[in-house]
Structure 1
Amino acid sequence: MSEDRYTVISADCHAGADLLDYRPYLEKRYHDDFDAWAATYVNPYEDLLADAADRNWNSDRRLAELEADGIVAEVVFPNTIPPFFPSGSLSAPVPTREEFERRWAGLRAHNRWLADFCSAAPDRRAGVFQILLNDVPQAVKEIRRAAGAGLRGGLLLPGTPPGSGLPELYSAAYDPIWAVCEELDVPVNHHAGSASPPLGDEPAARAVFMVETTWFSHRALWHLVFGGAFRRHPGLKLVLTEQGSGWIPGVLDMLDYYHGRLVAASTRAATAEAKFGAGLATSMSEGPSQVWRSNCFVGASFMRPHEVPLRDRIGLDKIMWGSDYPHDEGTYPYTREGLRYAYAGVPSEEVAAMVGGNAARVYGFDLSVLDPIAAKVGPTVEEIAEPLPEPPADATSPVFARGGSVRVW
């Protein structure tokens, strides 16, 4: 933060290559397969077919639009479809071993492309790389390679939705992944939408997806907590992104309740509940709230007004605001208005932590480099302190949704 302007770092942006631009990043032995795949591939996402799709890969346009929106740096999650995938889902069923190998090749191509994209503005981009969970040794190898290539945004953790056939995230099978992330100080990011099972094509499917998708993403928290990942790897960092933040205090209360109840029950062998708590105290060592305080963070994309009063219960040092650029539900081009809508009246030092300081600490941004840029383009402290009378008429972000100040999910 400069003297009178905020240094805004978006902890949730998205990027990816135009489809054919992934080809040079594939190993040559996959080029013919890629040509055949790309010739018939139909992109399922409307925003990747629109005129504005190049926001995903046009570096100059991206820097200009983010600066105009008051943002000086970003954590870059994937967006476009990697080669050989039917969609962006890392948990999509894999029919054959050959197809599995092609998808790994596609993810490596994306990660290589993203490293180059971030290198065009290395102080201002922290890229998040992708892996698959089906082959843990290969995942560990790619984590080392991607981190070594400069992708300091960390790992995008796939979900294990029902029907995926993968071990649950609490499984010790993933310990080599947690170990290498701890060793290299690589954040483990779990983004909303990556853990939901397929719901089919019925008319209600989209509504049900909206109701359930964040819950399926939240599961990573209690899986890793109860699975003891943080006891075995105390330096591991988990970031839950674009899942809201208002749910966190209530869920931590619930997890603490079950933890205490089951640990206590485990000492009373004659009770029916004893078996549910067996070994829990040893495997976890600390309660869920303490694990949250020690190891977890929230990428609180376009934080809503009702979530801000909960900041002390969530942890002021845990919250990282995000714009979700270039998605339609993101705050662009009304980030300043979105920040006013959420943070007017909040002490400036607290706003500074949530909109940039925390992300700088978690993802390794150098504020001595970013603050001078923010001194020119960042929103002013005075501006954000002024309440927003009315949301912009054409704003599409849920931060401005009617009733947004009273909803609790």
Structure 2
Amino acid sequence: MDRYTVISADCHAGADLLDYKPYLEKKYHDDFDTWAAGYVNPYEDLLADTADRNWNSGRRLAELAADGIVAEVVFPNTIPPFFPSASLMAPVPSPVEYDQRWAGLRAHNRWLADFCADAPGRRAGVAQILLGDPAEAVREVRRTKEAGLTGGILLPGTPPGCGIPELYSQVYDPLWAVCEELDVPVNHHGGSASPPLGDEPAARAVFMVETTWFSHRALWHLIFGGAFRRHPGLKLVLTEQGSGWIPGVVEMLDYYHGRLVAAAGRAATAESKFGAGLAASMGASPGEVWRDNCFVGASFMRPHEVPLRDRIGLDKIMWGSDYPHDEGTAPYSREGLRIAYAGLPPDEIAAMVGGNAARVYGFDLAALDRIAATVGPTVEEMAEPLTEVPADATSPAFAPGGSVRVW
């Protein structure tokens, strides 16, 4: 092995706004024209001259290859039709608007299937769904799997007050069942579960502090809800939420699980009521569920998280560049990899930068190895510690200091 095969487990893409129209059912075309004519994009990066990195396939392949990356898991980025923003949890005040937004997500998924087909074997597209109608979500999972999207689904969050059942509810069992049946990973991306906080300076700061915690909630909701007992083949991927929090949180979940299960067998107490039926409904402990069913899209993994890799699970960690976001490592992904992984055994690096993602998302690693043979970071290069951070690097991967997050 002279070079590493790097698969970014966290990249983002989407169509330019008007380019979604051909992917909408025709009955929505007039509504789309009206909506698009008055729409004001709220995101500066989607108005800049670099916005086409989201949809320009040739530019994207070239920039990723120059960055040492041969394949990518593709999460959404641009605005789907009929949405006020990229958030899947925007309020839905009427059945008509809800129907339109489903149409918008289906249009994105169709576009994404074509975008992935433009680079065979190098893109695993993540399909979008809504949770308000689990039967419709199941139909879209089947359709997108058949259309060739191999990145699984993007699981929306259920923030407090959003009006739909929490993720621990068994109302979602048909969704977990079809994902298990078709081997479709369930991805939960950071930032997709926070409640609206407003736009004051304090609100923005609070969002930064809390957003990963709200995303982490999917882990304990699905565990305590028994989703993995009823669907033991289900795969959950937590992406761009950091990774240093995982050992402590899994240990905490194990503690509460053991405490409540033990209390349930005692005389009537407050805790015995909280723990009643938990062992039977959950099955395995949280630690066992993490070991058997869960993975982390450890975007631009930072140096302070790397010593925890054995406790997280070396077979769980999937590095990501977050291209094309400015908090991502591009165009300094080689340096981002070095600052995190220099000095580690090559087999461990190979697993975290590509091997694990190939296994979870079904990439043909042998085929990608042939591409990496000319563009991948060399083993010699990766062994050299990074001594100087690029002056114009904007990723938190290069931030000085850092400690394990309590979340």
Residue aligning to 2:405: 408
Cα distance in 1, alignment partners of residues 147 and 140 from structure 2: 10
- Could you tell me which runs of 5 or more consecutive residues in structure 1 were left unpaired when the two chains were aligned: none
For residue 274 of structure 2, the aligned residue among 276, 298, 323 is 276
* Alignment counterpart, residue 70 of structure 1, candidates 64, 68, 71: 68
Cα offset, 1:304, TM superposition: 0.2
Question: Does structure 1 residue 205 correspond to structure 2 residue 209?
Answer: no
Report Cα offsets for 1:136-194 as digits up to 9, x if no partner.
11111111001110001000000000111010000000000000000000000000000
**Aligned structure 1 segments of 4 or more residues deviating by more than 4 angstroms:** none
Give the match for residue 214 of structure 1: 212
**Among candidates 241, 247, 250, match of residue 248 of structure 2:** 250
Aligned to 2:291: 293
Write the distance in 2 (CA, Å) between the matches of 1:119 and 1:133.
27
State whether structure 2 residue 368 is matched by structure 1 residue 377: no
- Separation of aligned partners in 1, 2:264 and 2:154: 35
Does the 8 Å contact 1:266/1:276 carry over to 2? Answer: yes
Give the aligned partner of residue 350 of structure 1: 348
CA distance in 1, matches of 2:229, 2:270: 27
Mark the CA change 1:157 to 1:65 in structure 2 (over 3 Å): closer, same or farther.
same
**Equivalent pair of 1:306/1:408 in contact (CA under 8 Å):** no
Choose from 141, 145, 148 the match for 1:147. Answer: 145
Residue 269 of structure 1: how far off its partner (Å): 3.1
Determine which of 12, 27, 30 is the counterpart of 1:29.
27
Kindly indicate whether residue 332 of structure 2 is the aligned counterpart of residue 311 of structure 1. no
Pick the aligned partner of 2:334 from 318, 333, 336: 336
Q: CA shift at 1:202, angstroms? A: 1.8
For 1:70-109, list aligned pairs within 5 A: 70-109=68-107
SS of residue matched to 1:73:
strand
- Conserved 8 A contact 2:245-2:404: no
Secondary structure (helix, strand or coil) at the match of 1:362 reads helix
Match in the other structure for 1:238: 236
- Would you say the 8 A contact 1:127–1:153 is kept in 2? yes
Deviation (angstroms), 1:201: 2.1
Tell me how far apart the structure 2 counterparts of residues 376 and 97 of structure 1 sit (CA, whole Å): 52
Deviation of the 1:330 alpha carbon: 0.3
Matched residues in 2 for 1:342 and 1:176: separation?
40
Corresponding residue number in structure 1 for 2:263: 265
Quote the residue 1:360 is aligned against: 358
SS of 1:273's equivalent? helix
Q: How many residues align?
A: 406
Aligned residue among 131, 136, 144 for 1:138:
136
1:57 has 2:55 as partner: yes
Cα displacement string for residues 349-390 of structure 1 (whole angstroms, at most 9, x for unaligned residues): 000000000000000000111001000000001101100012
Instruction: Return the TM-score normalized by structure 2.
Output: 0.99
State the alpha-carbon separation in 2 of the partners of residues 92 and 277 from structure 1: 34
Distance in 1 (CA, whole Å) between partners of 2:115 and 2:332 is 25
Distance 1:293 1:77 in 2: 24
Matched AA of 2:92: V
Q: CA deviation at 1:407?
A: 4.7
Cα distance in 2 for residues equivalent to 1:127 and 1:68: 21
TM-score normalized by structure 1?
0.98
Aligned residue for 1:51, secondary structure, equals coil
CA distance in 2 between counterparts of 1:122 and 1:139 reads 26
Partner SS state of residue 204, structure 1? helix
How far apart are residue 272 of structure 1 and its match?
2.0
1:55-106 CA-partner distances (Å, limit 9, x unpaired): 0000000000000000000000000000000011111110110111000000
Secondary structure class of the residue paired with 1:81: coil
